[in-house]
A and B are shown apart, each in its own frame.
Chain A
Amino acid sequence: MSRGSISLAAILWLVIAFLVLYPLSILLTESFKIAETGGWGIGNFLEFFQDAYYLKTFGNTLFLSTLVLLTTTVFGVPLAYILARYRHWGKTMFTALILLPIVLPAFAGVFAFIIFFGKYGTVNLLLMEIGLVEKPINFIYGLHGLVFIQSLHMLPFIVLGLSAGFTNIDPSFEEAAEVEGASSFRRFFTVTLPLCTPSYMAGAVLVFLWPFTDWLTPMILGQVDFLPSVAYINIAYHFTDMHRKYMGIVSVTVAAIVCITLFLLARRWVEKRKYTGLSKGTTSEGRVIEPGAWVKSGAYAYMVFIAILVLLIPVVLGLAAFSRTWVFEAFPTNWTLENFRLILLESPGLIKNSFLFSGIALIFGIAFGLPVAYLIVRTRVWGKDALDFVITLMLAFPGIAIGVSYLLAFWKDIPLARYWIIMPLALFARRLPYFLRMAHSSYLQLDPSLEEASEVSGAGKIRTFFSISLPLLLKGVLVGVVMFFIMAFQEISTAVFLYKGGWETLPIGIYLNWHRGMEFGIAAAMAFLMIVITFILLLIISRIGGGVLKAAWGAGEK
């Protein structure tokens, strides 16, 4: 243990303490404040679990989580299997399409589906036109719509985890089962699926946590009795009713505790179950099957179906972006560039803010992430695992909790939230795991002997880093950088609590224009612009070659 690494660790811990531990501890202490007496106690938590309303929202959220997990699993298992195992045309394209929702802002999807599946949306209008139905069908308002939209958004996490699992299984295990005479059905359920459970679990836990994080989708669909939405209303609509505010904070805390606990349990479970058979390692492609014609066309139909649902988001928003009023028409007829003129010329501030905040967050991310990755992989400093752990935990933390805790922590004593720097800081803290995972896994893949060779030959640590490590790390780091940027770019849950007039980002602009204003066209144009920017960034990632899959997932997790 060198003195250098210790001081490095100390600095990094300071940053974490300031940007993560301090605000979260404030959040936690605030939840124990009692409004009536000004004292402290567990009264708020007791009330939360005794009050019929709060208890109901908690139950609703658990129920929704279960439904979303079930739906994503039922639809995700065959999809992952097809993607990983079948040899087919357009594999990369389908994979990219199906993974698209990860990088799209969740609420963009909601708006697209309202235009398409709403009471007087495209589908209903077409159905009524051909006389199939008299009155519009309610496709999305209600629990079913919520499950549909959240499931589509989270489907990639299941598919990613599982297809990685299917690919990584040593083919010899399945071949052995085959040789022993197991039917393909039996083989799938007794060999393949169990071997994949760890990678499935890693995705499943994130899916399950989503309804504890997503406050906006339920609100847009008029279903607010869910934990994050109620927390949002309590905190964002009420300021002086202290009891109410504390109950909101309690809701956030409860959601955060559920998230963290489940995340940790899943991690432990995965680690315990890591199947390490006597494997000679697998091919990079894994086991690939050439399916029969019927199965193949079925598989195609299935993939196309899911891909169309995903594609609806950019296509519908794109159509809406180029039309001023698209309503009561199955497809827009009134085309215009006015929306883009308004965003690009009249209020370019939003785009500027988005790039500025995400960019600065990215600088923080690199300046912090690389040293952390170095520390975790290359040194044996005490507490490095804890550092890794804390940062990874941010993955499970609801954005709303980070937003609220920043507002509480950085208003009075450390009045950072009065300055716009709070925006990139918050984005940095919230999205850090994305960069770190990438840098981390790149470091892992970098053979230390290369660095050692350089040092033995007399190059200093710095020189080694810049001339040996960095070039070799570059690919992974770049993918991490772009992914981090994408995720910071589409962030809203945290930013919505912190923004002030003039600090609005594109996602906040979409929210304000659609939900609080009356400009569908402008909101759609903003969303479309975000999708285009994201898509370009994704292309960059795929050019670099890291693969969207790994980037989104963090290749550290297997």
Chain B
Amino acid sequence: MRKKNLTATIVTVLSVALLLTPIIGAKVQAADKLGWVGPVYKELSASLTKGFKAYYKKTYGKDVDFTGVRPGGWPVAVDKVRLWAGKPDADIFLGAGAPAHELLKDKGLIVPYKPKNWDKVPAEWGGMKVKDGDYYWTCFAPWIVTNLYNQKVLKKLRLPPPKTWNDLLNPIYRGNIVHTLPYASGTMHEAIEILIQAFGEKQAWRYLRLLAAQLARFSTGSTDTTNLVKRGEVPIGVAQPQMNAMAARKDGYPVMDLLPEKTILVPEAVALLKGAPNEAIGKIFLDWLFSADGQKYVLEGRYFAASTDVKFSAWAKQGVGMAKHAKKALGVDSFWDLKVGFIKYDVDVAKKRWDEVNKKYEHEIYRKWGKLKSSLFLIEEVEEEIKEAKAANADVSKADAKIKEARKLFEYDGKFAAARLAAAKARALLVTP
């Protein structure tokens, strides 16, 4: 009997503990709810949360529980929505550019909604769609794909800022560049798309192989890249949203952005998820996001505002802290006043090969990074030796032909082992022609 009592006590303790928890949980759930998923940075989501909560309280006299998850960059966030397959664990897809939203639209994972002030966002800019004509997605924070550098560190290393894509291949920058993987960051994905669409498939992959050999390391995402540049750990960051330099400078870091000669606009957009559990509140959020109030919180969240009504100088007077920094960063009074030339960018093509590009980069470059570098470094060594031999009037014709073959194997075929072998043969031919 008594032993039974002991058991009973323990069971009671356990069950009371289990019972108590939902009660504590229930208290939290009194407010209205809205959930987002997407790749936006923490500063933006924090600012929007603050702004939307205040707006909701003021307008509806109720609290709103505005929470979200950033599973990672665009590709990761898109993949999360694909996994939910129409039964989302969130209401809003917040962030990411055109191809991501087009992909979700294609798969039927987002639904159309025309927010108030939709007309205040341009339909197209520099050849890039800024919002969807069928109201599936609308850009709320435009930016341009840029590269970053740390002014202080480059000065210390006595290196000029790399102005073009090709500048980055200059040996002086070797070990001073960082970028992430296209599956981790939408910006990196777009950078690869830019290269492919601007230079052609063959040249683009050749370029990416050569660039990989210049890297100090891969970062784990676009913010990681910015952080590494900010702290000077690696002075040059490739494929970065334009506003990251502004945000870093605002915090006092000597970070500058560079528009490479070939680049595109990224219409960071928002969409309503299909099957959203809190659709009505989602729509309230979208209406608010494009209002003057919402757009201010976008800017305070360190993204450029999308509304054509925006005048940074006027906002600065109204006390929007970031307006001053935005004006300084862009040099104009509204994002849309920028004069930039973009490449011809085909969203459809980009959307279709979305996964394929990410996979190819990872398997053919990233996973073979060690082999890639050792192969290229050997080729460079042998090239140097051939040059020396030539200067000493030796017959290098055979070695020269072989090393050219090695280069081709490396640059165009991505066959790193074969390239190494060819380079080794070239070296042998140098010794016994």
Contact = CB atoms under 8 A, between A and B. Distances in A.
Interface string B68-84: 11111001100110110
A465 B6 contact: yes
Interface in B39-89: 41-43, 46, 65, 67-72, 75-76, 79-80, 82-83, 89
A220 B227 CA distance: 11
Contact of B80 (A220, A239, A515): A239
A420 B157 CA distance: 50
B6 A120 contact: no
A457 interface: no
B9 A518 contact: no
Given A2-B3, A118-B233, A465-B6, A239 B83 contact: yes
Contacts of B89: 418, 500
A11 interface: yes
B103 to A, nearest CB: 11
Interface stretch (A29-37, A73-81, A257-265, A323-331): A323-331
Give the interface size bracket for A toward B.
35 or more
A221 to B, nearest CB: 8
A240 B79 contact: yes
Contact of A368 (B14, B152, B219, B231): B14
Nearest to B36: A501
B21 A513 contact: no
Contacts of A241: 79, 355
Interface stretch (B161-169, B248-256, B335-343, B380-388): B248-256
B189 to A, nearest CB: 13
B223 A515 contact: yes
Nearest to A216: B220
Q: Which of A241, A328, A512 has the most CB of B within 10 A?
A: A328
B96 interface: no
Contacts of B21: 360, 421, 424
Given A222-B219, A419-B25, A501-B69, A8 B17 contact: no
B232 A364 contact: no
A412 to B, nearest CB: 11
A114 interface: yes
Given A240-B82, A418-B89, A424-B21, A519 B35 contact: no
Interface string B1-13: 0111111011101
Contact of B7 (A8, A239, A324, A419): A8
Contacts of B10: 8, 11, 367, 370-371
A274 interface: no
A517 B223 contact: yes
B220 A515 contact: yes
B344 to A, nearest CB: 30
Contacts of B83: 239-240
A8 B219 contact: no
Contact of B230 (A327, A419, A462): A327
B367 interface: yes
Contact of B72 (A224, A237, A460): A237
A5 B3 CA distance: 7
Given A53-B367, A421-B21, A328 B220 contact: no
Contacts of B5: 4, 460-462
Contacts of B224: 515-516
A420 B29 CA distance: 12
Contacts of A500: 67, 69, 89
Nearest to A360: B21
Nearest to A362: B17
Nearest to A115: B231
Nearest to B224: A515
Contact of B25 (A219, A327, A363, A421): A421
Nearest to B90: A501
Nearest to B11: A11
A502 B43 contact: no
Contacts of A119: 231-234
Contacts of A3: 3-4
B298 to A, nearest CB: 17
Q: Which of B68, B183, B231 has the most CB of A within 10 A?
A: B231
A8 B6 contact: yes
Interface in B292-326: none
A502 B79 contact: no
Contacts of A135: 157
B153 interface: yes
A367 B14 contact: yes
Given A356-B24, A462-B2, A518 B41 contact: yes
A418 B7 CA distance: 31
Contacts of A7: 4, 7
A241 B359 CA distance: 10
A518 B4 contact: no
Contacts of B17: 360, 363-364, 367
B236 interface: no
B221 interface: yes
A238 interface: yes
Interface in B207-228: 216-221, 223-224, 226-227
Q: Which of A120, A241, A461, A516 has the most CB of B within 10 A?
A: A516
A120 B219 contact: no
Nearest to B232: A120
A465 B7 CA distance: 12
B98 to A, nearest CB: 20
Given A120-B233, A368-B14, A516 B70 contact: yes
A535 interface: no
A518 B227 contact: yes
B171 interface: no
Nearest to B35: A501
Nearest to B79: A239
Interface in A277-292: none
Interface string A404-438: 00000000000000111100100000000000000
A371 B9 CA distance: 10
Contacts of B234: 119
Contacts of A220: 220
B184 A222 contact: no
B69 to A, nearest CB: 5
A516 B231 contact: no
Contacts of B43: 517-519
B188 interface: no
Nearest to B251: A325
A11 B14 CA distance: 10
B247 interface: yes
B234 to A, nearest CB: 8
Contacts of B355: 241
Contacts of B184: 237
B79 A517 contact: no
A327 B218 contact: no
Contact of B2 (A238, A461, A512, A518): A461
A141 interface: yes
A5 B72 CA distance: 49
Interface string A218-233: 0110111000000000
Query: Which 3 A/B pairs are nearest by Cβ-Cβ distance?
Result: A4-B3, A501-B67, A222-B217
Given A135-B157, A512-B42, A516-B221, 11 more contacts: A2-B3, A11-B14, A120-B233, A219-B220, A223-B217, A237-B184, A367-B10, A367-B17, A501-B36, A518-B41, A518-B248
